[in-house]
Amino acid sequence: ETGVTQSPTHLIKTRGQQVTLRCSSQSGHNTVSWYQQALGQGPQFIFQYYREEENGRGNFPPRFSGLQFPNYSSELNVNALELDDSALYLCASSLRDWGLGYTFGSGTRLTVV
Amino acid sequence: DAKTTQPPSMDCAEGRAANLPCNHSTISGNEYVYWYRQIHSQGPQYIIHGLKNNETNEMASLIITEDRKSSTLILPHATLRDTAVYYCIVLNSGGSNYKLTFGKGTLLTVNP
């Protein structure tokens, strides 16, 4: 059984640029969620994807967008990067039955300079 | 989802039981209590969850009070590798959006 893998592990971008983060969900999981974790804080929910459609969104602006592919992998895109977007971005996969728990990846550390 | 309150930090001696409390006084009938932990530089890891009854798995035990307003996560024999931030989360079983609402959690430090 493979876990959740995220790429890249670290990334440095300049303010105003665009970034794409990638996530491969755990085998058999059909739902992917993305979280942003600022330093010293708990993860904050960005959005969730199920069957290639957005299935709930947190308090993040439209420049945060995502995709889910037929193989359940996912991308997080952030446009017009701001300094405050510097954070650890976590991907979590699960089965539609939430009771089985979420499996998180180790995250992508994004630094915006 | 109901809000949770946890102490910011706790210490525990290696080999002893670690008891991490969580207050969720506004929990409603269809909300579950979940526990996750996050070891430094890793993603959160699912530990255990429960509704009303006490639960036990290979990692921990979860004790939920009868009124469901608080719970305790018990690590029976803490090791140095259990040093992590522990998050108590209340999650609604209904609806289609199963987001996890994390607070700041409890930093558990297991000392040799």
Higher-pLDDT residue of A7 and B104 is A7
Residue B94's pLDDT is 56
Residue A93's pLDDT is 92
Residue ranges of chain A whose pLDDT lies below 50: none
pLDDT tens figures, B35-88 = 999 998 899 999 999 999 899 999 999 999 999 999 999 999 999 999 999 999
- Using CA of residue B38, residue A48, residue B24, residue A39, what is the dihedral sign? positive
Angle at B79 (CA atoms; ends B73, B82), nearest 5 degrees: 55
Do A98 and B91 lie within an 8 Å CB cutoff? yes
Residue B3's pLDDT is 87
Integer CA distances (angstroms), A54 to A4, A32, A36, A48, B18, in order: 19, 10, 17, 6, 39
* Chain A residues with a Cβ under 8 Å from any Cβ in chain B: 4, 31, 33, 35, 40-45, 48, 50, 55-56, 58, 90, 92, 94, 98-99, 101-107
Task: Report the distance separating Cα A62 and Cα A50, nearest Å.
Answer: 19
DSSP chain B: ----B--SEEEEETTS-EEEEEE-TT--TTEEEEEEEE-TTS--EEEEEESSS-EE-SS-EEEE-TTSSEEEEEETT--GGG-EEEEEEEEESSSS---------EEEEEE-
Nearest CA in chain B to A41: B104
Q: Answer yes or no: is pLDDT of B95 > 80.
A: no
Do A92 and B49 lie within an 8 Å CB cutoff? no
Is the peptide bond prior to B21 cis by the omega test (within 30 degrees of 0)? no
Report chain B's mean pLDDT, rounded to a whole number: 91
Higher-pLDDT residue of B50 and B96 is B50
pLDDT bracket for residue B96 (50, 70, 90): low
Query: Which residues of chain A have a CB within 8 Å of the CB of B30?
Result: none
Please tell me if residue B104 touches chain A, with a CB cutoff of 8 Å. Answer: yes
